[in-house]
Amino acid sequence: SPPHTPAPPPLPTHTRLHQVCDTTGAGDAFIGAAAHGIRCGLPLGDVMRLASYVAAANCTADGARGGLPSYADLPAELKALLP
């Protein structure tokens, strides 16, 4: 059987991500962030953490790009993953 890889620690809960406003563009935000993470050479688990955060953040404002976070908006835990 394959060796067990422990799951990465969960990201802290971010209050602003609890305010879902509009889910338009969430899938596109997820795919874009995932592609960026893959291009940066992140392990798959970190790619999913980044993409999930970006997609969730995008849902906090109206429109397809309303809540899309910039690099400066990312939590320190995610910034530390990126080169």
For tokens 């874009």, the residue is: 32
pTM (whole model) above 0.85: no
Among residues 51, 49, 56, 44, which one has the least CA distance to residue 30? Answer: 51
- Write the burial class of residue 41 (CB in 10 Å: 0-12 exposed, 13-18 middle, 19+ buried): exposed
pLDDT score for 45: 92
| pLDDT one-digit tens code per residue, 24-82 | 999 999 999 999 999 999 999 999 999 999 999 999 889 889 899 999 999 998 999 99
CA 12 to chain centre: 13
How high is the pLDDT of residue 70?
Answer: 93
Question: For position 20, what pLDDT does the model report?
Answer: 84
